[in-house]
Amino acid sequence: MNGTAPLDTLADFPAIPAGWAYLDTAATAQKPQVVVDAITRAYGETYATVHRGVYQRSADMTLAYEAARTRVARFIGAGSPEECVFVRGATEAINLVAQCWAGTQLKAGDRIMLSMLEHHSNIVPWQMIAERVGAAIDVAPLTADGRIDLDAMAKMLTERHKLVALAHVSNVLGSVLDVERTVALAHGVGAKILIDGCQSVPRLRVDVAALGCDFYVFSGHKLYGPTGIGVLWARPELLDAMPPWQGGGSMIDRVSFQRTTYAPPPGRFEAGTPHIVGALGLHAAIDYVDGIGRDRIHLHETALVARTREALGAINSVRLLGPADSAGIVSFTIEGVHPHDIGTILDEGRVAIRAGHHCAQPLMEAMGVEATARASFGVYNGPQDVDALVAGIERVTRIFG
Ligand code: PMP
């Protein structure tokens, strides 16, 4: 593949049949054969537990599991693999930070800054911990084109704010956060900052050191990897100071009924037998994504977003949501048609989109809609998928008059 040719990766994805336009990558990405093969090989040829075995197979699997962690660290610019904790996904990562960091660092009267476009998994864990410690939550508003309004947020931030937690890329609008500026604003009032990278790691180059954030989280399954595996990255001094998350095997140093001591990070936060094969699948997925290059992926998806917005924008009854430079996502509504009906009619034409609130009910309320239709792109999509979507939408508008 050269650096400028359009992506042509459809053949890498065994679960995408010919003529099916899969436009729900923001929910979960399809898996390339190399990821399926890595999982099959791990269960079918090399399987054993990690971190415990005295036999060679287990020692080899431990090396493979830790190699996946090293690969993750390199992928996101972490200073060392020990800064990367394997979790079930972004949801678990945020809950971990909420319970173990915020739960011990925040006190009554402290404040947490979120934004109007956050996914429920970057809202509810903070509500739960805020209620427990007596902290309050503030919500940064959005600009007219659906970005987090950083000017407004700058005016709202005070020294009472101990944490800012925001999506790098919105899963509904595709708007991209200016992370460097946000980090400067958060650190300017002494707050820590968590970035939800679910929608950014598959398409934007992420270097946590350059971004300057304190926590970064993402899920493997949106990155062409398996479900059930994700990553919490945190600054080492923050992880060191955090108490354990769940108790059990692997997270300990020594256990006795008198006193138990804990392992250093990341083991301290990985109680129990981990998702060994998930980590190996994630490794393969990262190799796959880096093999294409995130700059190319972003460019490819940007062209698909532009084609979609242009075609749908020409249909009178369609209301496009979010900014024109959205990263891989086009949300829209059609006057007088419920998004579920849009989704059902599109499915009849073999176009798969998501319709609903996208786990962002506060955002729906702010936009004055109950739900949206959302087309989201991945490396396997091409102009033919956009054309199928547009043909389907024309059919919807004909049906609904
Ligand atoms: N944040 C964002 C922006 C997301 O898009 C998602 C998944 N839709 C999540 C968090 C939650 O990820 P998961 O369900 O994999 O834990």
Residue 103 has what DSSP assignment?
Answer: H
C-alpha 95 – ligand 1 centre gap (Å): 12
Residue 24 has what DSSP assignment?
Answer: B
CB 223 within 8 A of CB 289: yes
Q: Do domains 10-28+294-399 and 36-290 have the same CATH topology?
A: no
CA 193, chain centre distance (Å)? 16
Strands of the 329-334 sheet, one edge to the other:
318-321, 329-334, 372-376, 354-356
What is the chain's pLDDT, residue by residue, as a tens digit (401 residues)? Answer: 445 567 999 999 999 999 999 999 999 999 999 999 999 999 999 999 998 778 999 999 999 999 999 999 999 999 999 999 999 999 999 999 999 999 999 999 999 999 999 999 999 999 999 999 999 999 999 999 999 999 999 999 999 999 999 999 999 999 999 999 999 999 999 999 999 999 999 999 999 999 999 999 999 999 999 999 999 999 999 999 999 999 999 999 999 999 999 999 999 999 999 999 999 999 999 999 999 999 999 999 999 999 999 999 999 999 999 999 999 999 999 999 999 999 999 999 999 999 999 999 999 999 999 999 999 999 999 999 999 999 999 999 999 97
- Which protein residues are within 6 Å of ligand 1, measured from CB? 89-91, 119, 121-122, 167, 171, 196, 198-199, 219, 359
- Nearest 5 degrees, angle CA 282-CA 288-CA 289? 90
Q: Which residue has the tokens 């009178």?
A: 316
For 7, how many CA atoms within 13 A lie in the half-sphere containing its CB? 26
The atom of ligand 1 lying closest to the CA of 219 is: 15
The CATH number of 36-290 is which of 3.40.50.11740, 3.40.30.10, 3.50.50.60, 3.40.640.10? Answer: 3.40.640.10
CATH class of domain segment(s) 10-28+294-399: alpha beta
Pocket test for ligand 1, best of 24, 25, 116, 119 (most atoms within 8 A of CB): 119
C-alpha 121 – ligand 1 centre gap (Å): 7
Output the CA–CA distances (angstroms, integers) from residue 273 to 248, 250, 277, 278, in the order listed: 9, 8, 11, 12
ipTM of the complex: 0.99
Q: Where are the domains of the chain?
A: 10-28+294-399, 36-290
Please provide residue 282's backbone torsions phi and psi, each rounded to the nearest 5 degrees: -65, -40
Q: Whose CA is nearest to atom 12 of ligand 1?
A: 90
